[in-house]
Homo-oligomer: A and B are copies of this chain.
């Protein structure tokens, strides 16, 4: 099946609008993606036909809602090739997933041990570990980044050592687009027996992941970045690792029995799913996964790679244009500055021309500091973007730069 981006765009009515009199060019996909009709319709369909609270209801709507939710759990399992559906936990987002694990490790990580992240992490993969280190007295370490925006891993053996308790890093950087050498890092982490977590915020929409092949302990995805609804994250965890952790939140669904004196907890996944789940979001995410898999992530990634290469080629001649993060291994993200202009000004003037990009620190302040920039402008591509949009982006950028210089 040929990749027909114009047919695909018909599934995203939001793209068909004008902003300040110009056709919308949406290039803020790394922040959040737009949703296909299949997802919007799945949400409506849920509320129009079978909305109910799940799990403990014997009535038909409750069973339909439960079946819907649980079949998405199975769908996610298959998507990332987890061993069993019980290893798939529904969370509020990646931030929630990582906090769940970092909290759970509070009495497992000890003073004298260390937690290893990288300099290019999103704040949600930094702050929870800083908090963990504060609670436990463990040390926070990180892999630095070179001028290409790649991890410097020569020193891997001094950074990850016998005292490393946790290694957590992103697969693909939202600020730079760099695809990190996951398996190499995991192998090293596993060799010292560390707990491992991979932040898949940016892998979800762009790359296939096989968690068993990786052998990673925890892997997390964000629905809203993968064409699904807001308010939902996925936390994969190996059964034995999840079972070794205490529950995070207390409440309904996650307990076996409760008396005023004591509660005993349910097994996974329920132990980590306190409260009424985001049922609608789960159903919508199922539709998003189906949509993505019908197109094929490899096809999507190839399309995006083409756009990225084209954008680099088109924009490079602009005077002062400087890419932040130009690794050979990149996905979908064009982070840049134009010398003599401020990213914020670029963002405002591009918006005036209908082009939506993100500007600022992208919740990755340390890597901005490392590159000595206050922020970047970031165009990020999704399955529905086109070369014509790259042309519009480039023309708008040129115009903005001319106004600002």
Closest-CB distance, A72 to chain B (whole angstroms): 13
Q: How far is the CA of A76 from the CA of B258 in the complex (A)?
A: 33
What's the number of copies of this chain in the assembled complex?
A: 2
A95 with B280: CB separation less than 8 A:
no
- Residue A350 is within 8 A (CB to CB) of chain B in the complex: yes
Enumerate chain B residues within 8 angstroms of A47, measured Cβ to Cβ. 14, 34-35, 39-40, 43
Q: Is A369 a contact of B259 with CB atoms below 8 Å?
A: yes
Residue of B nearest to A30 (CB): B53
The interface residues of chain B lying within 8 Å CB-to-CB of A229 are 280
State the interface size on chain A (CB cutoff 8 A).
92
Please indicate the chain B residues that have their CB under 8 angstroms from the CB of A81 in the complex.
none
Docked-complex contact B52 and A278, CB < 8 angstroms:
no
Known: A13-B48, A48-B14. A60 touches B258 (CB 8 A): no
- The interface-forming segment of A161-169, A182-190, A203-211, A356-364 is A356-364
Contact indicator per residue, chain A 5-29, by CB within 8 Å of chain B (1) or not (0): 0000000011001011000101010
Q: Which residues of chain B have C-beta atoms less than 8 A from A232's C-beta?
A: 231
With CB as the reference atom, state the residue of chain B lying closest to A95: B275
Does A347 touch B at the CB level, under 8 Å?
Answer: yes
In A28-85, the 8 Å CB interface with B consists of 28, 31-32, 34-35, 39-40, 43-44, 47-53, 56-62
A230 within 8 A of B: yes
The reply to whether B19 and A60 form a contact with Cβ atoms under 8 Å apart is yes
Map CB proximity to B onto A363-377 as digits: 1 under 8 Å, 0 otherwise.
Answer: 101100100000000
Q: Does A402 contact B (CB under 8 A)?
A: no
CA distance A224 to B94 in the complex (A): 22
Query: Does A293 make an interface contact (CB < 8 A)?
Result: no
Whether, in the assembled complex, A276 has its beta carbon less than 8 Å from a beta carbon of chain B, the answer is yes
Q: CB within 8 Å of B: which residues of A?
A: 13-14, 17, 19-20, 24, 26, 28, 31-32, 34-35, 39-40, 43-44, 47-53, 56-62, 92-96, 98-99, 102, 119, 122-124, 126-128, 130-131, 140, 142, 222, 224, 229-232, 248-255, 257-260, 262-263, 274-281, 344, 347-348, 350-351, 355-360, 363, 365-366, 369
Cβ–Cβ contact A252 & B44, under 8 A: no
CB-CB < 8 A to A254: which residues of B?
127
Q: Once the chains are docked, how many angstroms separate the CA of A229 from the CA of B232?
A: 13
- For A280, list chain B residues within 8 Å (CB): 229-231
Once the chains are docked, how many angstroms separate the CA of A111 from the CA of B253? 29
20 interchain pairs, CB-CB under 8 A: A19-B61, A24-B61, A32-B52, A35-B47, A43-B44, A58-B348, A59-B351, A59-B355, A93-B276, A94-B275, A96-B275, A123-B251, A123-B258, A127-B254, A128-B251, A140-B260, A251-B363, A258-B365, A258-B366, A281-B281
Q: Are B95 and A249 neighbours in the complex by a CB distance under 8 Å?
A: yes
Known contacts A252-B363, A263-B127; A28/B40 CB under 8 A = no
How far is the CB of A281 from the nearest CB of chain B, in Å?
A: 5
A248 to chain B: which residues have CB within 8 Å?
99
Which residues from B are CB-within-8-Å of A262? 130
**A260-B119, A358-B57 are contacts. A249–B142 as well, Cβ < 8 Å?**
no
Distance of A123 Cα from B102 Cα, bound (Å) = 24
The answer to whether A95 and B252 have CB atoms under 8 Å apart is yes
Q: Given the complex of chains A and B, what is the CA–CA distance between A7 and B277 in angstroms?
A: 31
Asked if A61 and B26 sit within 8 Å, CB to CB, the answer is yes
Closest B residue, CB atoms, query A65: B32
Closest to A369 in B: B259
